[in-house]
Amino acid sequence: MFAGKKRYLTYRKRDGQSCPLSYRERKGWKKYTFNRSDLSVRKSGRMGVTMEELAINGGKPVRETKIFYGHQYIDEADVEAVSQVLVSEALTCGPKIGELEEKLCRLTGAKYAVAVSNGTAALHIACLAAGIGEGDEVITTPMTFAASANCARYCGGMPVFADIDPKTYNISPEEVEKKVTAHTKAVVAVDFTGQAAKLDELLHICRKNGLFLIEDAAHSIGTKYKGKPVGSIADMTTFSFHPVKTVTGGEGGAVLTDNRELYEKLLLYRTHGITRNPSLMQRESEGPWYYEMLDLGWNYRITDIQAALLISQLDKLPLFSRRRKEIVAKYNEAFQKIPELFVQEEIPESDTTRHLYILRIRPEKLSVDRLGFFRALEAENICCNVHYIPVYYMPYYEKLGYKRGLCPEAEKLYEEELSLPLYYSLTDEDVDSVIRGVEKVVAAYRKP
């Protein structure tokens, strides 16, 4: 009778019209499906997704292979770039470092760039260059990786956490202003998910109070704020090149600035506090080998191997950015129609290259919490992540006296959000399977 396929009945809409119902239905349609495998009748949810058995309960997953939240893309040009360095004279401290820094300056419009070993190193030397020391306070968001706060601790300072905007998830300038004291030295503003923070407002607060603005752009390379590339706006901007980021060097980071004095400090802190620049030396040179250690620095050098990979990756940044925007648009189109979900809002000033796609559930409309939703998607072979656990939840910060309740909006977001797969090499079929998986889980847990 059923020829082995699902068949869809028509349903007469209120306006008197009727037609066959497709897989994706408009809000308000209903459908019933007959499945030969069990000859059962199952009612769909409001979005027109058949109430199939969830994989976590023994049903068939929406895809046969696992898909993860992030993944690097490496092509033959990347392999060739690295291979050329491997057979060259300089594996580190060579010409590729300067070439990478020049490329970052051209990309962002910044005057100076200092490439380092990772994004945490970039934040650390930015705080050192800003003069953060014992007793100083650095305002940042709790909705970030720990490094955005730890960089203050490395210098003897204390992070002060300002709450987020509940719609954009970025640090709220209004909350930042409330946290400024006589001890405040800097603001570390994170471009969460890749969306630029409200940089004009934050710069105004910093200028009014004599503070440094350090933009943690670990997520946002390729993003523009009011048409200007991230990297050329704040006093210092830091990048991260971890493999899940938009471009990667395996690891790597950078600090960008327009300030010559800050630039020279950054160079020193990157390399043990040592210089070979005669104009900076305090004594007369003893010969071609001579160098001086002017301050206590660190070994935060990046290798020519990593730099070569990054140079090649940056050539593909427009391609990576365009594809990420396409995927975000598809996700937004699908999820904005589902009342059980909340889609991150974007400020008009930010032309965003998204590193993360945050899906926020509305627990009051579902019979499942975030953990249950996460596990249900995982069973459908859609492996998500959560970004982030509020920094001050960490035992280290609890020992320092930080308590829960400091930033209610950030804490609420943490309870309701998860990160969906987002990276350049996702196919359209991959993206569709993520959407189907989310719709399937929502339909299964939707409250009547």
Q: pLDDT at position 15, please? A: 37
**Using CA atoms, how far apart are residues 217 and 228, in angstroms rounded to an integer?**
14
Residue 305: its pLDDT value, please? 98
Burial 6-44 (b: 16+ CB within 10 A, else e): eebeeeeeeeeeeeebeeebeeebebebbbeeeeeeeeb
The structure's pTM equals: 0.89
Q: What is the pLDDT of residue 264?
A: 97
Q: How far is 176 from 196, CA to CA, in rounded Å?
A: 16
| Domains in the chain: ranges and CATH | 1-51 (no CATH), 76-315 (3.40.640.10), 317-445 (3.90.1150.10)
The rounded distance, in Å, linking the Cα atoms of 108 and 230 is 6
Higher pLDDT, 121 or 44: 121
Least confident of 275-279, 305-309, 374-378, 384-388: 275-279
| Residue 293: pLDDT over 90 | yes
How crowded is the C-beta side of 70, counted as CA atoms within 13 Å?
20
Provide the 8-state DSSP code for 53: P
Question: Tens digits of per-residue pLDDT, 134-191?
Answer: 999 999 999 999 999 999 999 999 999 999 999 999 999 999 999 999 999 999 999 9
Report the percent of the chain where pLDDT is more than 90: 88
393 in Cβ contact with 404 (< 8 Å): yes
Spatial distance between the Cα atoms of 99 and 287, rounded to a whole number of angstroms: 28
Kindly tell me if the per-residue pLDDT of 383 is higher than 90: yes
Residue 348 backbone dihedrals phi, psi, to 5 degrees? -65, -20
pLDDT tops 90 at residue 6: no
Phi, psi of 212 (to 5 degrees): -85, 140
What are the phi and psi torsion angles at 106 (to 5°)? -65, -40
15-72 confidence digits (pLDDT tens):
333 333 333 333 333 333 333 233 233 344 444 445 789 999 999 999 999 999 999 9
User: Can you list the positions of beta strands (E) in 266-317?
Assistant: 274-275, 292-293
Please classify residue 292 by burial: count the beta carbons closer than 10 Å to its beta carbon, then call 0-12 exposed, 13-18 middle and 19+ buried: middle
Position 50 scores a pLDDT of 53
Is the pLDDT at 101 greater than 90? The verdict is: yes
Distance CA(389)–CA(242), nearest Å, equals: 19
Respond yes or no on whether the N-terminal peptide bond of residue 388 is cis (omega within 30° of 0): yes
Q: For residue range 182-193, list pLDDT tens digits in order.
A: 999 999 999 999
Q: Specify whether the CB–CB gap between 268 and 262 falls below 8 A.
A: no
Residue 367 has pLDDT above 50, yes or no: yes
- In this prediction, residues 279-304 reach a mean pLDDT of 96
> What's residue 51's pLDDT?
74
**Residue pLDDT, tens place only, 300-331:** 999 999 999 999 999 999 999 999 999 999 99
Query: Which pLDDT score is estimated for 27?
Result: 38
Averaged pLDDT score across all residues of the chain? 91
Evaluate if residue 378 carries a pLDDT over 90. Answer: yes
